[in-house]
Amino acid sequence: MARTVRDLAVLVGVLAATTAIAAAFGAANFGTALGVGELAFAAVLMWILLRAD
């Protein structure tokens, strides 16, 4: 259970951080910044799902 919570926290953090970074670096609008965050979210989700334990 603790691992699931940690993984969800990482995913939410990555989405928020990359959206904020994209906005700070001059994304055209908030939708574009969210799109960048979504791509990072998907990449980290794949890493979480595929990592070996």
Range of the domain at 37: 2-50
Question: What is the domain count for the chain?
Answer: 1
The pTM of the full predicted model, rounded to 2 decimals, is 0.89
Q: What is the pLDDT of residue 42?
A: 98
pLDDT tens per residue, range 3-40: 999 999 999 999 999 999 999 999 999 999 999 999 99
Q: What is the pLDDT of residue 53?
A: 67
pLDDT tens per residue, range 42-53: 999 999 999 976
CB of 46 within 8 A of CB of 20? Answer: no
Give 15-38 as a DSSP string: HHHHHHHHHHTT-SSHHHHHHHHH
Question: What values do phi and psi take at 27, rounded to 5?
Answer: -60, 145
